[in-house]
C-alpha cells in the first residue's frame, strides 16, 4: 500500500449536552456591536433579501465575534461532529456542527461509487434525502459528503467515495444529492475543490493541469453543484493546484468559483493541513478554516499552526487582510445559514425512531441491489442457461469461499466510511504496527456484520451450502470440485490516506493488515476444478482479472453497506435483476492506464493526458478495456435500433432510438448517449445523456433524450469561455460506452454558451 506522508486522525469532540434551541429573530436580537465603521458591509444592487439580512447581522458583530465564525474552535458545541463553530446567541446565530456523512450518518448506505453505478439520479436524490434527514435529526447543521473528484487515477484510495470517471454523471449526482440534503435545512458540501486525484502526498503534491482540462473534467461537477443546486459549502482540497495550495488559490476560489460562477456560499478548508498561510488563504477567498483551533499559537496535532483565529485577527488589524474580506467571509456564512433555513430553524438533536431506521435499512439494501454490476455471466458447458441467477432447485450443493463471507462484507476507510461497521467481526492482522517508509499505521478495514453465507443459505433452503475460507487454495479447490457452484468472495480494502499499489486484488504483501492470502491464486485454483465459478468482488474501484476467462460469472458488489449479505444473495438468486453499469472503466492491466504506478516519490502530478482519462483514454488510444465504462449485464437482454439525432436550432440535440427487451425477464436498462465533438483535442466521445428505462419481456420503447448544448461545450482557451463548437456532431447510443450505434447529428454553427 502507498501511504500518505501525514497521518490522518479524526478530531472528535465531547458531547456536552443539548443543542442551543432555535434563536430568536435576528433583527430583534441585534445590539451591542462595535462602532467601527468598517463593520458595515457594503450592499450591492443585486443583493437578495438573504444578502441584506446577512449584512445587517454582520454590521452588528464585533471583530472577535466575526473571527469566531470563520474557524472551528474545539469542544464547545452541544453535539459532537467533525468540528464546531459555536453560535452567538445574542445575534441568533446557532452552533454550526458539520458531520461526515458521505454514505450516511446513522443509516449506512452503499458507497458513492456504487450509487453512481445505478445511473439513477432519482435514487441519488433519495440517497441524499435519507442522509439530510438524519444529519438534521442528529442535531448537525452541515453534511460533509458530496465528494466529486473525478477518477483520473483508478488507484486513488478514495475513489469509492466519489462518483466515477465521468464529469456529467458526477455532476448530475451531486446536484440531486445537494438538493435533497439542503431540503432538510442542512448545509450540503461539495468536495474536494479541486483536482484532488490521489492520496499519496496529498498535503504536499501539486496537480498541474491546464485550464481547459480543469474546466471540462475536474471543475464541471463543482460548477453544476453551484449553478444547478446552489450548494452552500465548497470544501477546498489539501493538494496544490498548479503550484498553489487549493485553499489559497485565488484563481480557483475567487476568479472561477465566486466571480465567474456566482457562488454565494462559503469556502471551507479541508481538515487540518489545507492551509499554511492564513493571509494568502483569506485574500484568495477562503471563508472558513477547519478544523481550526482555540489558539493559533499552539502547535496543532499535525505539526502546523492554525491560521484563522488570533492570526487572522492580527492580519485584519494590520490591514494585511481587509475588513471587507472578513465581513464577506462572515456574510457568506450567515447568508448560507439563512438560505438553507438553519438560522431560523436550528436543529435539535433527537433520537431517530426505530421504524425510520428499519425503513432506512431496507432502502440501503435496495440501493445495494440496484448498484451491483454483473460483468460476466457465461453459459456453462453442458447447460442451456447462464450461470446466474442460481436457481435453488438446480443448485444442490454450493460452496462459498473466502472473503470472510461467513461473517461480513467490507467497507472503505477514512472519513468516507459510513458508521455501523462492527470492527470485531473480522480481525485486522496488524493493528497498530508500523509499516512502510512513511512510518504510518496500516489501516484496518471496517466490516459490516452481514453474512452473504447466511443469506445464500436462506435463498437456497434445500441446498447444501458450506463455507471454506480462502487461506488454503488447494482445499478450496477440492471443495469446489465437489459442488454444483463455487462462489468465491474477493475483497480489497481502500481508504482515505492510502492509494492502491495496483488494480490487482490484494494479497498478504500488498495489504498485510487485511489480507492473508493471494486472492488471484485462489480464484485460479478454484476455477481449475469447479463445475461453475462465480466471483463476487467487494471493491471500491476497478480490478484487474487475470482469471477472467476461466470463471463463469463476475458480480461487482462494491462496498455494499450493512445489508450487503442479503443484497448479494438476492442478485445471485435472481430476486433482483442486475441493472447497474460501470461508472469507471476496468482496464486489462495497470500498464494500460495513462499514468505509471504511484510511487510516492513525486510531488508533482502532471495531467499530461489532458482530456483523455477513463473511457476517453481507452477510446483515444484504441486500447481494449477489460470492461468499458457504462457496461453491465442483466438477466435479460436488450437491443437498440432506429437511432437518429437532430439539432433543434438552439444548439441542443434530440437523440431518438428504440430499446427493446429481447429476453424473458422484466428489466431496467440504461441507454447512454455519447457525442463526438468537432473540436481539436476532444476525445472520440463523451457521455452527454442517459436514462433508466424499465422494459417488460419483449417490450420496445421509443426514447428521445434531449442533449443540452451545455453538455457539448468546450472550454475555449483563446476566449476563456465555454463555446459550442461549430461543425458536424456524431452521436453514439447503446448500453455501454463501447457497444454503440452511431448516427450523424448534423452541423451547427459555433455559439457561446
Dig out the grid coordinates for 19 from the structure. 443543542
Strand-pairing partners, residue 647, are: 653
d(CA 156, CA 731): 31
Dig out the grid coordinates for 635 from the structure. 438477466
Biggest CA-to-CA distance, the chain: 88
Considering only 77, 79, 82, 284, the residue that binds ligand BGC (CB under 6 A) is 82
Considering only 79, 85, 88, 144, the residue that binds ligand BGC (CB under 6 A) is 144
Strand-pairing partners, residue 658, are: 641, 702
Smaller CB distance to ligand BGC: residue 6 or 745?
A: 6
Strand-pairing partners, residue 639, are: 660
Residue 461's alpha-carbon distances to 173, 406, 409, 465, 573, in angstroms, are 39, 16, 22, 9, 12
Residue 100 beta carbon to ligand BGC: minimum distance, rounded to whole angstroms: 5
Smaller CB distance to ligand BGC: residue 191 or 313?
A: 191
Residue 250 beta carbon to ligand BGC: minimum distance, rounded to whole angstroms: 22
Q: Half-sphere exposure of 657 toward its Cβ, with a 13 Å CA cutoff? A: 29
Pairing label, strands 533-538, 485-491: parallel
Smaller CB distance to ligand BGC: residue 101 or 229?
A: 101
Residue 218 beta carbon to ligand BGC: minimum distance, rounded to whole angstroms: 16
Using CB under 6 A as the binding rule, whether residue 66 contacts ligand BGC is answered as no
Binding-site size, ligand BGC (CB under 6 A) = 9
Considering only 4, 8, 257, 323, the residue that binds ligand BGC (CB under 6 A) is 8
Smaller CB distance to ligand BGC: residue 232 or 667?
A: 232
d(CA 589, CA 574): 31
Residue 441 beta carbon to ligand BGC: minimum distance, rounded to whole angstroms: 16
Residue 438 beta carbon to ligand BGC: minimum distance, rounded to whole angstroms: 16
How many residues does the structure list for the chain?
Answer: 753
Smaller CB distance to ligand BGC: residue 271 or 573?
A: 271
Contact between 530 and 486 (Cβ < 8 Å):
yes
Residue 227 beta carbon to ligand BGC: minimum distance, rounded to whole angstroms: 23
Dig out the grid coordinates for 595 from the structure. 499514468
Considering only 100, 142, 216, 328, the residue that binds ligand BGC (CB under 6 A) is 100
Residue 101 beta carbon to ligand BGC: minimum distance, rounded to whole angstroms: 9
Smaller CB distance to ligand BGC: residue 415 or 519?
A: 415
Q: Is 99 helix (H, G, I), strand (E, B) or coil?
A: strand
Considering only 179, 191, 333, 335, the residue that binds ligand BGC (CB under 6 A) is 191
Question: Percentage helix, strand, coil, to 5, in the chain?
Answer: 25, 20, 50
Q: Does residue 265 have a cis bond before it (omega within 30 degrees)?
A: no
Strands, E assignment, 496-648: 498-499, 533-538, 553-556, 604-606, 638-647
Smaller CB distance to ligand BGC: residue 291 or 365?
A: 291
Residue 451 beta carbon to ligand BGC: minimum distance, rounded to whole angstroms: 30
Contact between 507 and 517 (Cβ < 8 Å):
yes
- Residue 266: enclosing H or E segment and its boundaries? strand 266-269
DSSP per residue, 195-229: T----TTTTT-EEE--HHHIIIIISHHHHHHHHHH
Residue 270 beta carbon to ligand BGC: minimum distance, rounded to whole angstroms: 5
Residue 7 beta carbon to ligand BGC: minimum distance, rounded to whole angstroms: 11
Smaller CB distance to ligand BGC: residue 144 or 168?
A: 144
Dig out the grid coordinates for 127 from the structure. 440517497
Residue 497 beta carbon to ligand BGC: minimum distance, rounded to whole angstroms: 8
Smaller CB distance to ligand BGC: residue 70 or 82?
A: 82
Smaller CB distance to ligand BGC: residue 232 or 683?
A: 232
Smaller CB distance to ligand BGC: residue 158 or 738?
A: 158
DSSP per residue, 20-57: PPPPPPHHHH-------GGGSPPP-TT--HHHHHHHHH
Dig out the grid coordinates for 221 from the structure. 461537477
Q: Collect contacts of 84-89 with beta carbons under 8 A, ≥24 apart.
A: 84/13, 85/288, 87/20, 87/23, 87/346, 88/61, 89/20, 89/23, 89/29
Smaller CB distance to ligand BGC: residue 8 or 581?
A: 8
**31 CB burial (10 A radius; 0-12, 13-18, 19+):** exposed
Considering only 233, 323, 415, 737, the residue that binds ligand BGC (CB under 6 A) is 415
Dig out the grid coordinates for 475 from the structure. 482445499
Residue 201's alpha-carbon distances to 437, 511, 593, in angstroms, are 13, 19, 20
d(CA 352, CA 335): 29
Smaller CB distance to ligand BGC: residue 10 or 621?
A: 10
Smaller CB distance to ligand BGC: residue 126 or 273?
A: 273
Strand-pairing partners, residue 693, are: 669
Smaller CB distance to ligand BGC: residue 143 or 736?
A: 143
Residue 440 beta carbon to ligand BGC: minimum distance, rounded to whole angstroms: 14
The distance in angstroms from the start CA to the end CA of the chain is 44
Q: Which residue has the cell 461543425?
A: 727
Residue 8 beta carbon to ligand BGC: minimum distance, rounded to whole angstroms: 6
Residue 19 beta carbon to ligand BGC: minimum distance, rounded to whole angstroms: 20
Residue 137's alpha-carbon distances to 78, 105, 354, 707, in angstroms, are 14, 10, 13, 39
Residue 144 beta carbon to ligand BGC: minimum distance, rounded to whole angstroms: 4
Residues 235-274, mask of contacts with ligand BGC (x by CB under 6 A) = -----------------------------------xx---
Residues in region 9-38 near ligand BGC by CB under 6 A = 10
Residues that bind ligand BGC (CB under 6 A): 8, 10, 82, 100, 144, 191, 270-271, 415
Amino acid at each position: 500500500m502507498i501511504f500518505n506522508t501525514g497521518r490522518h486522525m479524526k478530531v472528535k469532540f465531547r458531547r456536552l449536552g443539548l443543542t442551543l434551541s432555535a434563536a430568536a429573530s435576528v433583527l430583534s436580537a441585534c445590539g451591542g456591536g462595535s462602532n467601527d465603521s468598517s463593520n458595515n458591509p457594503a450592499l450591492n444592487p443585486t443583493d437578495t433579501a438573504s444578502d441584506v439580512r446577512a449584512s445587517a447581522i454582520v454590521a452588528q458583530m464585533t471583530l472577535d465575534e466575526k473571527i469566531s465564525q470563520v474557524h472551528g474552535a474545539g469542544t464547545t458545541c452541544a453535539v459532537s461532529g467533525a468540528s464546531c463553530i459555536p453560535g452567538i446567541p445574542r445575534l441568533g446565530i446557532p452552533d454550526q456542527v458539520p458531520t461526515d456523512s458521505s454514505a450516511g450518518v446513522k443509516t449506512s448506505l452503499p458507497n458513492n461509487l456504487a450509487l453512481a453505478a445505478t445511473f439513477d439520479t432519482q435514487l441519488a436524490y433519495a440517497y441524499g434525502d435519507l442522509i439530510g434527514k438524519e444529519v438534521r435529526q442528529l442535531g448537525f447543521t452541515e453534511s460533509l459528503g458530496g465528494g466529486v473528484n473525478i477518477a483520473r487515477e483508478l488507484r486513488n484510495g478514495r475513489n469509492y467515495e466519489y462518483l466515477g470517471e465521468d464529469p456529467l454523471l458526477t455532476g448530475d449526482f451531486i446536484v440531486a444529492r445537494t438538493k435533497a440534503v439542503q431540503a432538510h435545512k442542512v448545509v450540503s458540501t461539495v468536495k474536494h475543490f479541486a483536482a484532488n486525484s490521489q492520496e499519496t502526498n496529498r498535503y504536499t503534491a501539486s496537480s498541474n493541469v491546464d485550464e481547459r482540462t480543469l474546466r471540462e473534467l475536474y471543475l464541471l461537477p463543482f460548477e453544476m453543484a453551484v449553478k444547478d443546486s446552489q450548494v452552500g459549502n465548497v470544501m477546498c482540497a489539501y493538494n496544490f493546484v498548479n503550484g498553489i495550495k487549493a485553499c489559497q488559490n485565488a484563481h480557483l476560489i475567487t476568479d472561477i468559483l465566486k466571480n465567474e460562477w456566482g457562488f454565494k456560499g462559503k469556502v471551507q478548508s479541508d481538515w487540518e493541513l489545507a492551509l499554511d498561510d492564513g493571509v494568502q488563504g483569506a485574500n484568495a477567498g477562503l471563508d472558513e478554516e477547519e478544523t481550526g483551533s482555540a489558539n493559533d499559537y499552539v502547535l496543532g496535532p499535525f505539526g502546523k499552526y492554525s491560521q484563522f483565529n488570533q492570526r487572522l485577527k492580527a492580519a485584519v488589524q494590520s490591514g494585511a487582510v481587509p475588513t471587507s474580506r472578513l465581513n464577506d467571509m462572515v456574510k457568506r456564512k450567515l447568508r448560507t445559514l439563512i438560505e438553507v433555513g438553519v438560522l431560523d430553524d436550528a436543529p435539535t438533536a433527537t433520537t431517530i425512531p426505530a421504524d425510520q431506521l428499519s425503513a432506512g435499512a431496507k432502502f440501503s439494501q435496495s440501493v445495494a441491489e440496484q448498484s451491483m454490476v454483473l460483468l460476466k455471466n457465461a453459459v456453462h458447458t453442458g447447460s442451456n442457461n447462464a450461470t446466474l441467477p442460481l436457481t435453488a432447485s438446480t443448485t444442490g450443493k454450493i460452496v462459498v469461499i473466502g472473503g470472510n463471507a461467513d461473517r461480513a462484507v467490507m467497507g472503505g476507510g477514512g472519513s468516507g466510511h459510513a458508521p455501523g461497521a462492527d470492527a470485531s467481526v473480522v480481525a485486522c492482522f496488524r493493528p497498530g504496527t508500523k509499516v512502510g517508509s512513511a512510518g504510518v499505521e496500516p489501516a484496518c478495514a471496517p466490516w459490516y456484520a452481514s453474512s452473504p453465507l447466511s443469506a445464500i443459505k436462506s435463498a437456497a433452503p434445500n441446498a447444501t451450502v458450506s463455507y471454506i475460507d480462502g487461506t488454503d487454495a488447494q482445499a478450496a479447490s477440492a471443495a469446489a470440485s465437489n459442488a454444483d457452484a463455487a462462489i468465491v468472495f474477493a475483497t480489497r480494502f481502500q481508504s482515505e490516506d492510502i492509494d492502491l499499489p495496483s488494480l490487482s486484488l490484494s494479497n498478504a504483501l500488498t495489504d498485510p493488515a487485511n489480507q492473508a492470502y493471494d486472492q488471484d491464486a485462489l480464484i485460479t485454483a478454484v476455477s481449475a476444478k469447479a463445475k461453475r465459478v462465480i466471483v463476487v468482488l467487494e471493491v471500491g474501484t476497478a480490478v484487474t482479472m487475470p482469471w477472467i476467462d476461466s470463471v463463469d460469472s463476475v458480480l461487482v458488489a462494491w462496498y455494499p453497506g450493512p445489508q450487503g449479505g442479503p443484497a448479494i444473495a438476492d442478485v445471485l438468486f435472481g430476486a433482483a435483476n442486475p441493472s447497474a453499469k460501470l461508472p469507471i472503466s476496468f482496464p486489462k492491466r495497470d500498464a494500460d492506464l495513462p499514468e505509471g504506478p504511484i510511487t510516492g516519490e513525486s510531488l508533482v502530478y502532471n495531467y499530461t493526458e489532458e482530456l483523455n482519462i477513463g473511457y476517453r483514454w481507452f477510446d483515444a488510444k484504441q486500447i481494449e478495456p477489460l470492461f468499458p465504462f457504462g457496461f453491465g449485464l442483466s438477466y435479460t437482454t436488450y437491443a437498440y435500433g432506429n437511432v437518429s439525432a437532430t439539432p433543434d436550432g438552439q444548439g441542443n440535440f434530440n437523440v431518438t432510438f428504440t430499446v427493446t427487451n429481447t429476453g424473458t425477464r422484466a428489466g431496467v436498462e440504461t441507454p447512454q448517449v455519447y457525442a463526438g465533438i468537432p473540436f481539436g483535442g476532444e476525445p472520440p466521445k463523451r457521455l452527454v445523456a442517459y436514462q433508466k428505462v424499465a422494459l417488460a419481456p419483449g417490450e420496445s420503447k421509443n426514447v428521445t433524450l434531449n442533449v443540452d448544448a451545455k453538455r457539448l461545450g468546450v472550454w475555449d482557451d483563446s476566449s476563456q469561455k465555454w463555446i459550442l463548437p461549430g461543425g458536424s456532431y456524431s452521436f453514439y447510443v447503446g448500453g455501454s460506452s463501447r457497444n454503440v450505434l452511431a448516427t450523424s447529428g448534423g452541423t451547427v454553427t459555433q455559439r457561446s454558451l
